[in-house]
Structure 1
């Protein structure tokens, strides 16, 4: 690839602005994941309540992604991003100065979902500036903002320990959001070419189709599993192995970094061996990893490797979206928004399953066994449905690559 051609083909300041917006948004979105084990010293919580606290931002992000997606179509991604960052400051200020009960903290958690909805504005803002041959790279650069998760797990509990007050973390988070808001407002620009807004009837026609729900299920397990685990692992390491808040978050950081590294590999493998085969292998591996973790082995290098293997769920995101454009070529922008929202719902239910079963049984074993069963059920589901897929719309490897270019052109619109 010619780097100069890439830089000249789009708008680099907008691409950088999109990345920064996505990065700080992801950091804020998962802030409660590591912090909850510190917060519980002020607000004692049982396993179910802790799970609820880290699940609510994911639920909020899932629902609000559709709202911000609609605004992106109507008023443009730049204005939507500005509104998103301004509204993101509301739960940060609330958590910093005004929270005085667990119920209020639940409200803060829901509002943090505004940051999680940044997908809907950041990605189209960047991608619409670039021609099809460079949109994969542009989307990859903007989407690398999910690295904000690492900042949250690595620094949130350290800052809370240093100041002796977890509220300070919310206050300090306002600083990078404010800086990025200024940079974003100055340098980001909407592309001259903007697609026409989509109607509710268009969404309704897509939701009537069986394959829409199939992809929603698959993506809720891959993306939802990755995000849900990223939020919950600090609680697990702290509760199960007695690690300090900082050490528990450090172990989570290792798993998140590894899982993020797997994401582009998943898309690359799907292009070469096919999305269906890739997903069946992936779900099978994850089912084995989950079942192994359900025995709750002593904390060791092997245990950490099991969790890293489990976080390979992130590889499935690229695999799902290698298949989606082959099935929904005309409704691509609509289907990606629906499937993306379903991924967030999966991230909501995963902590709830682990936390509620821990509360009712006293052990994480049943929760991990159920999650293993869910992954195995996905293998069976794909095995049953792949025949009809291959007969009706699965194309050759060349067609898959063409479809990948298509989704890069419209995934975020």
Structure 2
């Protein structure tokens, strides 16, 4: 009887009859999605905070350092599509468990056998890509429990798991100094295993999950212009966020000669700002529309990155990076306030596709900063080009916003 009453309350919430956000979905699942995403993100960017020490040990060039920290981002981007398909077939809960086990086993293997070459760091980066692919699992897991008017907040809270990058930036350099960077790979398995247990206990697949689609149906989405627009927009917001999160430890050590621990603290401050504001970006999108929120984010991010390109002091660079991360984090929330409105029945695969594009953007930023440093002796051009991409995204947003509001935006209760 209690189960039946609970199921009725969920049904009412999904029909928009429940008034408040916290009564409109399944809180344990939302919390589980956040925790899973948080720890997955922690290990996804682990090579960034460890990068300066690994580069010293293995004698890596600037370009190799850029590729090392960018590889998990690219692998995560590709694997998000795989996970999107898996979510659609077996559900987000089981997909998440499989992905988490692969990451734990991979990290344990790297710890026990050791990583002793540049090729080894790239192989480890591919394994860590499974953690980055958690994006395509955690967001559908949470999203399917909430009605349209609460999508921004639900996706924002689950997506705030990208704060795991803060944990990596704060603790990885410190632990590496105490025990060596290879030991950090083994230590990371401990919180991952704890969260996996909590995830298995707390998470529950939503009862209103769409029926599995045929493989050829997924290709149909790529024939839709809006899918490509969302991928482009997210490649800038999330690409900027994760690319900076992976690259800032190396930037602060190379550019200003900071210790790895101090560089980790600076990176953590920047990443914390971007992570904290993601649900706020989604909530603001619910109130004023995702398009307007996203446009503001692009403008602020572009200006901040232009400023960073010529920053002459640590304090100036740090302040501008915080501003840029705040804007990019809000933009991430705004994009995923919009995606479920347009592709509600395809949220699993669209999360994978959009997340893939975000990962590719992050790969570009992280690797291009390394190549810019090696070719010109400065990170400046890498930041300027990415600021230009933010401006291009703003132009694209202005091209499509009127059509969106006139077509699919007119058929939903949420603001776009």
Q: What interval of TM-score do these two structures reach, taking the shorter chain for normalisation?
A: 0.7 to 0.9
Q: State which of 172, 186, 204 in structure 2 corresponds to 1:156.
A: 172
Aligned counterparts of 1:320 and 1:181: Cα–Cα separation in 2 = 28
SS at match of 1:320: helix
- With over 3 angstroms needed to count, the CA separation of the structure-2 counterparts of 1:184 and 1:260, relative to structure 1, is closer
- With over 3 angstroms needed to count, the CA separation of the structure-2 counterparts of 1:162 and 1:13, relative to structure 1, is same
Aligned counterparts of 2:399 and 2:415: Cα–Cα separation in 1 = 23
Aligned counterparts of 2:342 and 2:25: Cα–Cα separation in 1 = 29
Aligned counterparts of 1:308 and 1:273: Cα–Cα separation in 2 = 24
Shift of 1:153: 0.5
Aligned counterparts of 1:210 and 1:162: Cα–Cα separation in 2 = 51
SS at match of 1:255: helix
Kindly indicate whether residue 329 of structure 2 is the aligned counterpart of residue 314 of structure 1. yes
Alignment of 1:363-374 (within 5 A): 363-374=378-389
- With over 3 angstroms needed to count, the CA separation of the structure-2 counterparts of 1:180 and 1:280, relative to structure 1, is closer
Alignment of 1:63-82 (within 5 A): 63-82=78-97
CA contact (8 A) 1:290 1:372 kept: yes
Cα deviation per residue 1:337-380 (whole Å; 9 max; x = unaligned)?
32122111111111111111111111111111211211122223
Kindly indicate whether residue 393 of structure 2 is the aligned counterpart of residue 382 of structure 1. no
Q: TM-score, normalised by structure 1?
A: 0.87
- Deviates most, 309-318 or 129-138: 129-138
CA contact (8 A) 2:152 2:337 kept: no
Kindly indicate whether residue 305 of structure 2 is the aligned counterpart of residue 304 of structure 1. no
Kindly indicate whether residue 414 of structure 2 is the aligned counterpart of residue 402 of structure 1. yes
Gaps of 5+ in 2: 1-12
CA contact (8 A) 2:156 2:333 kept: no
SS at match of 2:258: coil
Shift of 1:392: 4.2
SS at match of 2:58: coil
Alignment of 1:51-90 (within 5 A): 51-90=66-105
CA contact (8 A) 2:91 2:205 kept: yes
Partner in structure 1 of residue 291 of structure 2: 276
Q: State which of 58, 62, 67 in structure 2 corresponds to 1:43.
A: 58
Aligned counterparts of 2:313 and 2:329: Cα–Cα separation in 1 = 25
Q: State which of 262, 266, 275 in structure 1 corresponds to 2:277.
A: 262
Shift of 1:157: 0.4
Kindly indicate whether residue 260 of structure 2 is the aligned counterpart of residue 245 of structure 1. yes
- Deviates most, 49-58 or 258-267: 258-267
Cα deviation per residue 1:278-300 (whole Å; 9 max; x = unaligned)?
33332222222111111132222
Kindly indicate whether residue 136 of structure 2 is the aligned counterpart of residue 120 of structure 1. yes
- With over 3 angstroms needed to count, the CA separation of the structure-2 counterparts of 1:350 and 1:400, relative to structure 1, is farther
Partner in structure 1 of residue 9 of structure 2: none
Gaps of 5+ in 1: 405-413
Cα deviation per residue 1:23-58 (whole Å; 9 max; x = unaligned)?
221111111111001111211111111111111111
Shift of 1:15: 4.0
Partner in structure 2 of residue 410 of structure 1: none
Aligned counterparts of 1:80 and 1:374: Cα–Cα separation in 2 = 33
- With over 3 angstroms needed to count, the CA separation of the structure-2 counterparts of 1:189 and 1:162, relative to structure 1, is same
Aligned counterparts of 2:201 and 2:310: Cα–Cα separation in 1 = 53
Alignment of 1:190-269 (within 5 A): 190-269=205-284
Aligned counterparts of 2:95 and 2:397: Cα–Cα separation in 1 = 37
Aligned counterparts of 2:23 and 2:407: Cα–Cα separation in 1 = 40
Aligned counterparts of 1:275 and 1:10: Cα–Cα separation in 2 = 21
Partner in structure 2 of residue 411 of structure 1: none
- Deviates most, 220-229 or 361-370: 361-370
- With over 3 angstroms needed to count, the CA separation of the structure-2 counterparts of 1:140 and 1:282, relative to structure 1, is closer
Aligned counterparts of 1:360 and 1:274: Cα–Cα separation in 2 = 42
Shift of 1:400: 6.4
CA contact (8 A) 1:96 1:170 kept: yes
Q: TM-score, normalised by structure 2?
A: 0.86
Alignment of 1:142-153 (within 5 A): 142-153=158-169
Aligned counterparts of 2:174 and 2:126: Cα–Cα separation in 1 = 24
